[in-house]
Structure 1
Amino acid sequence: MPWTPLHSQLHQCLIDRQLLPISANILLAVSGGQDSLCLGQLLRDLQSRWKWQLAVAHCDHGWAQDIGIADRVAQVTTRWQLPYYCETTANLPETEAAAREWRYQALARIAETTNSTYLVTAHTQTDRAETLLYNLVRGAGADGLCAMSWHRQLTPAISLVRPLLEVNRSQTGAFCQEYQLPVWEDNYNRDLKYARNRLRLEIIPQLAADFNPQVESHLARTAELLRADVEYLESLAQDWYRKALDDRGVKLDRPMLQSLPLALQRRVIRQFLAQSLGKMPTFDRIEATIMLIDAPNRTRTSTFSHGLAAEVSGKWIVVRK
């Protein structure tokens, strides 16, 4: 098959962003849809240039609409002459959140079994635009609006990489047609009871028709710009968090926090509460704790989980029962 512009685009993206090194052990997540089949063919074609060790993983949710997908993915993987791994579950709730959480757990297990240090998924520019809108209507801040990044650590030993974030679904669809890849048309992706499907099938096309034909790429660009801002702010906040902590790592220095702008105060408090509570705090809990920075001694927030609350203790903010 011919070398296409999409091959060149991905090859250059991998070089510029240093996403997948030469000779890497890579596990590719393939759902059977057009995006993952497109990425699988691209990586298979680039494999000889990069000397990768490639393997394919598929996650079968055990839902009725998934019957037959695993066999289809296995056939394509045989065509690619790559190792194939499949994990199946049962009684999984038919929700986006449950499916996503289980898939990443399953893929991490397969990656560990195969000694793969990179897990590659086929999230596209389209997915990135959807994620920005989805998180925007839920009231997310900058972190949520840029949540879909090029790479992040899935586990300490496994990096999650998304190399198609500058490629849209029109491109992946055309590529699959050219290569005659057997795309599985999942009815789940057309079910409008799921919010992301409504965004993809109704809202974004309407925005493109009424406001900007390039809305998808522009939303994805906004996410990329926000990503750089968030990474910079988070690195500053981590430095200030370490400075503001007491020697035992359980109290925050209020006078030091008073010197910071609100954006950094929020991030420092979020890191402090995440450590103290053992989970990520809500926006309301962060805001309530920020009020303690300038509050009188013994001022407390309302109770958090497990009977805990943040309290002013002299120059410090502490979390205690």
Structure 2
Amino acid sequence: MVGGLLGLKTTGKNRPVQNPPLILVGCSGGPDSLALAAVCAFFATRGEVRVGAVVVDHQMQEGSAEVAQATAGQLRGLGLDPVVVRTVDLEHDGAGPEAAARAARFGALEATAHQLGADQVLLGHTLDDQAESVLLGLARGSGTRSLAGMRERRGMYVRPFLGLRRDETLAICQALGLTPWHDPANQDPAYLRVRVRNTVLPFLGAELGPGVAASLARSATILGYDADFLDELAEAEFVTLAQRSTESGTEFPQIALSENGLRGLPAALRMRVLALAAVELGGVQPSLERLAAAETLLARSGSAGPVQLAGKVSAWRISRKHSVPHEGASYGKLVLKRSS
């Protein structure tokens, strides 16, 4: 499984190569990532790849530094090299501690990969994690991309264990005599994901059958293909429609999108094009409500805006009563700009 995702053949024969590539395992010390590190250590002995690890200390719990160092010690004992411990400070921007920890973690993983020259970072998410992600997306009323859950590959990140159950990673640790760290936060019902894991999924399994987690993960795979296709189409339309400029007298960029071009798109693509513009300007993914509000500007029957999107990005249309000439560069355009 791991070897296939890394492009390695699992024939059992050693195939050492000159200057083998470095891959990193993001390891919290929990059973999933520790089992992944142990499996990857096998491939390191074959000489086809070098395997290192990154342990991120989020400083969210007392004794986190000791946990990180103990995890690093186990990883070095498995033969992983280099093993880097990164201590991060969380930036709370109103999105909650889980989102802040995730952002800090991925920032540390990416920075370490670039520093060490690693092309891939492996993460230990399992099928159970995938099922939880789909349910969380449903509960939040999210779109196709969110319901698609986590992808097996996205950029430098690879998740080889998405087909494994959490119990199987525990079995790997037990078989190899490893001592995983069990994060007490994973049992704290204050977190929605914990309630989904310990209450909602067991209930669904009891009522719908034990295969519900696998069914949810399978749905994520199908939706992932759909989301990828729609995202590709939206990206192509965005490239065609987007006109970038800087507002006179400021340093803030803005993007103008043809109103007629947007109106001619199916809703699924139109929403994505608007979101792409907002994100490019430094905003975050807007909610459905914000995107729908921006869409109403295209009707030219009410306010010309501005409509506030997420991340200080606003959208408005050039009104016919505006002093801009009808043949001007901005007329007939929906304009998005990020404020200071």
TM-score, reference length from structure 2: 0.80
Which residue of structure 2 aligns with residue 273 of structure 1?
278
Deviation at 1:28, TM superposition (A): 0.9
For residue 179 of structure 2, the aligned residue among 172, 179, 182 is: 182
For residue 290 of structure 1, the aligned residue among 295, 299, 318 is: 295
1:277/1:13 CA distance change after superposition, 3 Å? closer
Work out the percentage of aligned pairs sharing the same amino acid. Answer: 29
List alignment gaps of at least 5 residues for structure 2: 9-16, 246-253, 320-330
Deviation at 1:91, TM superposition (A): 7.8
For residue 259 of structure 1, the aligned residue among 241, 264, 267 is: 264
Which residue of structure 2 aligns with residue 315 of structure 1?
332
Deviation at 1:67, TM superposition (A): 5.7
List alignment gaps of at least 5 residues for structure 1: 1-8, 17-21, 154-158
How far apart in 2 are the matches of 1:273 and 1:74?
40
Give a deviation string over 1:18-38, Cα, whole Å, max 9, x none.
xxxx83311111111110111
Instruction: Give the secondary-structure state (helix, strand or coil) at the position aligned to 1:136.
Output: helix
For residue 57 of structure 1, the aligned residue among 37, 46, 54 is: 54
How far apart in 2 are the matches of 1:43 and 1:306?
43
For residue 45 of structure 1, the aligned residue among 42, 45, 52 is: 42
How far apart in 2 are the matches of 1:217 and 1:108?
30
Deviation at 1:164, TM superposition (A): 1.0
Deviation at 1:277, TM superposition (A): 6.2
For residue 104 of structure 2, the aligned residue among 88, 102, 105 is: 102
How far apart in 2 are the matches of 1:142 and 1:111?
29
**Of the two structures, which has the highest relative contact order with CA contacts closer than 8 Å and spacing of 6 or more?**
1
CA contact (8 A) 1:30 1:121 kept: yes
Equivalences for residues 1-321 of structure 1 within 5 A: 9-15=1-7, 23-49=20-46, 51-62=48-59, 63-64=61-62, 66=64, 68-83=66-81, 84-89=83-88, 95-153=97-155, 159-246=156-243, 250-276=255-281, 278-296=283-301, 299-303=304-308, 308-313=314-319, 314-319=331-336
Give a deviation string over 1:74-132, Cα, whole Å, max 9, x none.
33123212222112246887932222222222222322332222111111111111111
TM-score, reference length from structure 1: 0.84
2:130 partner letter: R
How far apart in 2 are the matches of 1:86 and 1:303?
40
Instruction: Give the secondary-structure state (helix, strand or coil) at the position aligned to 1:58.
Output: strand
**After TM superposition, what 4+ stretches of structure 1 lie above 6 angstroms from structure 2?**
90-94
Equivalenced residues, count: 303
Provide the alpha-carbon RMSD of the alignment.
Answer: 2.7
